[in-house]
Amino acid sequence: MRAFKTIGIVCKRDDSRLVSTVRRLIDHLSTKGCEVLVDDIGGQLLGIVGVPLETFAQRVDLAIVVGGDGTLLHAGRFMANHEIPVLGVNLGRLGFLVDISPEDVEMILEQVLAGKYYEEKRTLLKASVFRGEQCLGENDALNDVVIHVRNEVRMIEFTTHINDAFVNTQRADGMVVATPTGSTAYSLSGGGPILHPDLDAVVLVPICPHTLSHRPIAISADNKIKISLCDQRNSEARVSFDGQSHIDITPGDHLVIQQKQKNLCLLHPENYDYYHILRTKLRWSMQP
């Protein structure tokens, strides 16, 4: 059983609704003898000293994210590097990842501190963008890495290789490369399948392909994916990481996507049920 002595709270940006929930968390954890840190965003909201995420992840045993899935995506990339488990409190909309209601937070924390929780590992991707031999930048993604058209409403043309084997060349608005976590995000909107989080796989989903036979494909997560923007079309594109950071690319550039060696550890209540999350968030079984 993990011992959580120093607990950090990560807050959604520009959302004053979370102040009361965060104060409740701080008060409750303090009564349990825990040291509590808040990130710099939470510090601004509460009027106290906060800690930047870069150093925050090096000091805590557990991170509690208060906000929505976007907040957890941002924090999760930092926490994965330091193998810090993450617990999510939902103040957003969908909440596939942040699955604890603010009303239940004290009760769930009691269980977590007592070692009663479900621990889940989530795959991340690591992507590098190149212009020739020059690396333009790299980043991690918990949901997806997306190459997509930039500025104009027109298709881009790109070539895909998997483990150096040629797959195809296609014209489309782009391509989503998603983890099982991201399979319920942009990938799902593009017609991709839902991948259970236990699967060691990623899915490649073309965005509005010109040739309708270009369909999503699921492959093992340990494959190396290379996507190259073709020289023949003078179309600029962009590579996005979880929709939160971006690198602009031009014809001839390429990106290499691989599985990150470290996973994100998510903590859930003991009664966590992934299929219940799907039914609730996607409104399955609801009568019209």
Binding residues for NAD(+): 69-70, 74, 143-144, 154, 171, 173, 184-189, 244
Question: Phi and psi for 48 in degrees, rounded to 5?
Answer: -125, 175
Residue keyed to tokens 């790299």: 138
Distance (Å) of CA 124 to CA 76, 140, 152, 200, 264: 10, 7, 30, 11, 7
Q: How far is CA 246 from CA 60, 72, 90, 141, in A?
A: 28, 18, 26, 11
**Is-catalytic flag, 231?**
no
Query: What is the distance in angstroms between the CA of the first residue and the CA of the last residue of the chain?
Result: 45
Instruction: Characterize the bridge pairing of strands 62-67 and 86-90.
Output: parallel
Q: Quote the tokens at residue 50.
A: 């906060």
Q: Indicate the annotated binding residues.
A: 69-70, 74, 143-144, 154, 171, 173, 184-189, 244
Q: What is the dihedral of CA 266, 78, 68, 14, to 10 degrees?
A: 150
Residues 6+ apart with CB under 8 A from 50: 37, 38, 39, 40, 41, 42, 43, 44
Q: How does DSSP assign 203-223, residue by residue?
A: EEEEES-SSTT---EEEETTS
Please choose, from the candidates 233, 253, 252, 264, the residue with its C-alpha nearest in 3D space to the C-alpha of residue 69: 264
Among the options 69, 99, 140, 242, which is catalytic? 69
Residues marked as catalytic: 69
